[in-house]
Amino acid sequence: MKALLIARRELAGYLRTLSGYVVIAVILGLNGLFFNAYALGGASKRSAEVLSQFFYYSSGFTIVASVFISMRLLAEERQTGTLPLLYSSPLRDRDIVLGKFLAGLTFLGLYVLCTLYMPLLVMVHGKVSFGHVAAGYLGLLLLGSASLAVGTFGSALARNQLLAAITSAVLLVALILCWLLARITEQPLSDVFSAMSLWNQHFPPFQSGLVHVRDVVYYLVVTYVALFAATRVLEARRWR
Amino acid sequence: MIQVEGLTKYYGEHAAIRELAFTIGQGEVIGFLGLNGAGKSTTLKILGCVLLPTAGRVVIDGHDVVNNPHEVRQRIGYLPDVPPLYEEMTVGEYLAYVAQLRGVTARDTTARVGEAEEKTGLREVDGELISTLSHGFRQRVGVAQALVHKPALLILDEPTSGLDPRQIVEMRDVIRGLKGTHTVLVSSHILPEISQTCDRLLIIHKGTLVAQGTEEELGTKMGGGGSIEVEVRGDRARAVEVLKAFGAVDVGRVADGVVALTVRASPDQRPRVAQAVVGAGLELLRLDQGAGQLESIFLRLTHGQEVRA
């Protein structure tokens, strides 16, 4: 499958350049700092509460990581002039987008995997259920997947990586702030905004160790729609 | 191999190319000539399935680039004006990646990469990172990626751009070596490169195809190509009168009694021109073959009317 070929090259690109490691190191460092200062610090808490707070902070850092990881996906190809190579090869545009996304998701997965030491510390010193950890990580991966897909769309739109990061950040903040719109509008509009909210409506259950099908479906739908839109952007570029 | 009819591409309100029409047969090496901004790259991008046309039709090996791009892409190798290279890969890794991207099986990849490196003289840098290569080698890697999967049609956009004279000669040899095994469409604004490499020429100017044919055919159509450059000391009017017998005369620089003139005539006429100038009592300072036939044709097609004495 050509998408896997693209994903393999893209992933090797992340692993061979310093920028990928820098992104992971900085965000891991900040995540660790927040975990130590806020999740572990303060008044004594139950282990489940510490874990819940860990997932709370990690969700934010996962969104930030996905912006930085996704910004290079398509914008870099455009910036360095390698997009014609993909366009002139016997590939579907969806293979290009899917390959890029899979590489980004694997790299993001690597970052999420690196955060495992924090819940393990909680497990060693306290008592938490494996289900809570698994649900939280499933939530992080789904949230990361949706954010990365939005980032891929932003990267398809932008001329360079900086613009890609800004576009993705704006789109993600807009999706996150849908919960505020839900508060100031009336039904049925408030229900729509509430359902669209990237974090407020859909992540807290994972944070508490609960997996709802509607939340899983939401993140998968956002991922699909954003990747579909990125594919359409690539198609549209051929007409310009 | 290629049929192009009414090909038009607009960027907003601006027509980059208009109503292009030409055909290219199997195995031909075609030179695509034009000034910068003439529409060469736009045309080649459409042929390479990178851009879609606003109007018109392009059929490559029986497949339409708009309706059946996937089939077309399996038959082409495309080198854009900027070689599409991944800096962090080695030459070998990059060519293997491109080969597989274009449908070469994992089993055949090593052999195909070896062949492409052999043809383009890249064997010695197989393990080198692309980021460390010189401009000449990068350009070669660009050509190698276009031919690694043995496509029927090679589209090369300015393959000698930015190369030094020695590298240009080497690249010309590479392109000549492709003759017979591929149909090649190569764009350039460097005339000797095209003149010495291609079977036939397409000349594009301001988005319109202004001429096509072999160099000889174009020379005949344009009323003969070639020119002779003459420098004489003496009367300007007398020099023009003498030289007019051989063809149209352009008067160039006149300084300190020395007149530089260009005569639109075959370089074969040089001995007779020399005799005429000396016979007319003018002092002959220099007599040389002028710009090549192709250059002369190209300049006439792209510069419009010339000032003639």
**In CATH, what number is assigned to the domain containing residue B136?**
3.40.50.300
Q: In the prediction, which pLDDT does B306 show? A: 38
Residues B142 and B21 in one domain: yes
Closest Cα of chain B to A80: distance in Å? 8
Query: B232-244: per-residue pLDDT in tens?
Result: 998 888 889 988 8
- Residue B177 confidence class, pLDDT cut points 50, 70, 90: confident
Q: Which of B41, B47, B101 to mutate to test the interface with A (most CBs of A within 10 A)?
A: B101
Q: Which of B86, B87, B105, B129 to mutate to test the interface with A (most CBs of A within 10 A)?
A: B86
| Mean pLDDT along residues B269-286 | 90
- Residue B222 confidence class, pLDDT cut points 50, 70, 90: low
Per-residue pLDDT for B71 more than 70?
yes
Name, in order, each residue with C-beta under 8 angstroms of B303's C-beta and a sequence gap of 6 or more: none
Residues B217 and B232 in one domain: no
Nearest to B52 by CA among B37, B60, B42, B62: B42
- Residue B82 confidence class, pLDDT cut points 50, 70, 90: very high
User: In this structure, how many other beta carbons lie within 10 angstroms of the beta carbon of residue A8?
Assistant: 16
Of B45, B76, B84, the CB nearest to A85: B84
* Strand-strand pairing, B14-24 and B283-289: unpaired
Per-residue pLDDT for B223 more than 70?
no
Q: What are the structure tokens assigned to B231, written together? A: 């420098």
Q: In the prediction, which pLDDT does A233 show? A: 96
Per-residue pLDDT for B287 more than 80?
yes
The Cα–Cα gap between A69 and A63 comes to: 10
Per-residue pLDDT for B309 more than 70?
no
Nearest to A49 by CA among A144, A135, A126: A126
Exposed e or buried b per residue across B28-48, where buried means at least 16 C-beta atoms within 10 angstroms of its C-beta: bbbbbbbeeebbbbbbbbbbb
Site of tokens 């300084």: B255
Q: How many Å separate Cα A46 from the centre of its chain?
A: 28
| Mean pLDDT along residues B82-97 | 95
Exposed e or buried b per residue across A190-222, where buried means at least 16 C-beta atoms within 10 angstroms of its C-beta: eeebbebbbbebbbbebbbbeeeeebeebbeeb
Closest Cα of chain A to B123: distance in Å? 22
Determine the Cα angle at B54 with ends B53 and B55, to 5°.
Answer: 90
Q: In the prediction, which pLDDT does B292 show? A: 60
Query: B93-149: per-residue pLDDT in tens?
Result: 999 999 999 999 999 999 999 999 998 889 999 999 999 999 889 999 999 999 999
The domain total for chain B is 2
The Cα–Cα gap between A90 and A12 comes to: 22
Residues B137 and B170 in one domain: yes
Residue B308 located in a structural domain: no
Q: In the prediction, which pLDDT does B211 show? A: 86
Residues B239 and B177 in one domain: no
Per-residue pLDDT for B297 more than 80?
no
Closest Cα of chain A to B212: distance in Å? 26
Residue B218 Cα distances to A110, A114, B93, B214, B296, angstroms: 63, 68, 44, 6, 10
Please count the CA atoms within 13 angstroms of the CA of B262 that sit on its side-chain side.
15
Residue B309 located in a structural domain: no
Residues B163 and B262 in one domain: no
- Name the domain boundary from B187, B204, B221: B221
| Mean pLDDT along residues B60-70 | 92
Q: In the prediction, which pLDDT does A80 show? A: 93
3-state secondary structure of B86: coil
Residues B89 and B173 in one domain: yes
Per-residue pLDDT for B156 more than 60?
yes
Nearest to B119 by CA among B185, B53, B157, B176: B176
Of A12, A82, A90, the CB nearest to B103: A90
Q: Is B75 exposed, middle or buried (0-12, 13-18, 19+ CB in 10 A)?
A: middle
Per-residue pLDDT for B224 more than 60?
no
- Asked if A86 and B145 come within 8 Å (Cβ–Cβ), the reply is no
Nearest to A115 by CA among A182, A54, A186, A49: A54
Of A5, A81, A239, the CB nearest to B100: A5
Please count the CA atoms within 13 angstroms of the CA of B272 that sit on its side-chain side.
12
The Cα–Cα gap between A51 and A136 comes to: 9
CATH number at residue B288: 3.30.70
- Residue B290 confidence class, pLDDT cut points 50, 70, 90: low
Chain A residues with beta carbon closer than 8 angstroms to that of B84: 80-85
3-state secondary structure of B209: strand
Q: Which has more confidence, B262 or A64?
A: A64
Residues B169 and B256 in one domain: no
Q: Which of A88, A94, A95 to mutate to test the interface with B (most CBs of B within 10 A)?
A: A88
Residue B181 located in a structural domain: yes
Query: How do the pLDDT tens digits run along chain A, 240 residues long?
Result: 799 999 999 999 999 888 889 999 999 999 999 998 887 877 777 888 999 999 999 999 999 999 999 999 999 999 999 999 999 999 999 999 999 999 999 999 999 999 999 999 888 888 888 999 999 999 999 999 999 999 999 999 999 999 999 999 999 999 999 989 988 988 899 999 999 999 998 999 999 999 999 999 999 999 999 999 999 999 998 887
Closest Cα of chain A to B166: distance in Å? 26
Domain that holds residue B167: 2-221
Q: In the prediction, which pLDDT does B305 show? A: 39
The Cα–Cα gap between A99 and B50 comes to: 19
Closest Cα of chain B to A78: distance in Å? 10
Residues B72 and B201 in one domain: yes
The Cα–Cα gap between B285 and B229 comes to: 11
Residues B159 and B63 in one domain: yes
User: In this structure, how many other beta carbons lie within 10 angstroms of the beta carbon of residue B87?
Assistant: 16
Q: Is B13 exposed, middle or buried (0-12, 13-18, 19+ CB in 10 A)?
A: exposed
Task: Give one DSSP letter per residue of A94-156, joined into a string.
Answer: HHHHHHHHHHHHHHHHHHHHHTTHHHHHHHHHS---HHHHHHHHHHHHHHHHHHHHHHHHHHH
Please name the residues between 62 and 121 in chain A that touch chain B, using a CB distance below 8 Å. 80-92
- Name the domain boundary from B221, B247, B262: B221
Residues B137 and B24 in one domain: yes
Query: B190-221: per-residue pLDDT in tens?
Result: 777 777 788 888 989 899 998 888 877 776 66
Q: In the prediction, which pLDDT does B307 show? A: 32
